Amino acid sequence: MTCCLRGNERRLTGASGGFFCAMARKAAVDALTLFDSLVYTCQYRVSIDVPSDALAWVMQTRHALRDRIGRFECFYRLPGITLIESELPPEYESTLSDSIVRGASGQRGFRLKLDGIRHSDDRKRIYVGVEPVGPISALQQRLLDHVRANKRIKKLGVDVPMQPMLLIAGPLKAAQFEQAWAMLENEHYRGERAVTDLTLMRREVADDSLDEHLKSVKLEPAF
């Protein structure tokens, strides 16, 4: 049995790929009612906001890239440094928000540096490097521990980026990457900001959906 995703709806199907057919026996009809139900989900993301000039630069660069290489998945996402993300039914939103608040409790802010344009080892993502990694990873792990403490959310899945980054474009197809990297490999970007809070955002599961701000969570003063 597999789960097929269409937009932001899921429909369970049989192993052969087709939808279950109703049968004469009552039990089969009940199974059809159960498995053919639709589940509405949204993508939730906890991130660190970046300076306004960095946000503007990334959006401008994305528009230039789209004109050159065509559409890519993260184009409509608000630029930021993703810590964790999950696809959940909206009824889990309050629980997720509470977990984020608990995870951020007692955590101190820090200064963030953005430096250099890089690409992932699999050549599917182009991004601005982020430093220092230590405080970001520690905060990320604390949030993850609190969110996964809820067994239902843990079962549905919580994703964590391989490394902190300010994503410019990705994931990219091979031909897209070659064109994009040729365009950006000689570019430079540097920026800095004080991280004082986290942002929880929601978006519908569609390529052209926009982020919706749900909550800002304050960190403790750095000193």
Segment 84-111, tens digit of pLDDT: 999 999 999 999 999 999 999 999 999 9
Output the pTM of the full model. Answer: 0.80
CATH 3.40.1710.10 fits 42-218, yes or no: no
**pLDDT digit string (tens) for 142-163?**
999 999 999 999 999 999 998 9
d(CA 50, CA 170): 18
Strands, DSSP E only, in the chain? 2-6, 9-13, 39-40, 42-48, 81-88, 110-119, 126-131, 165-169, 190-195, 197-204, 212-218
In three-state secondary structure terms, 31 is helix
Domain boundaries, the chain: 2-35, 42-218
Is 25 or 197 the better-scoring residue by pLDDT? 197
d(CA 51, CA 131): 14
Query: Residue 39 carries which side chain, given as an amino acid letter?
Result: V
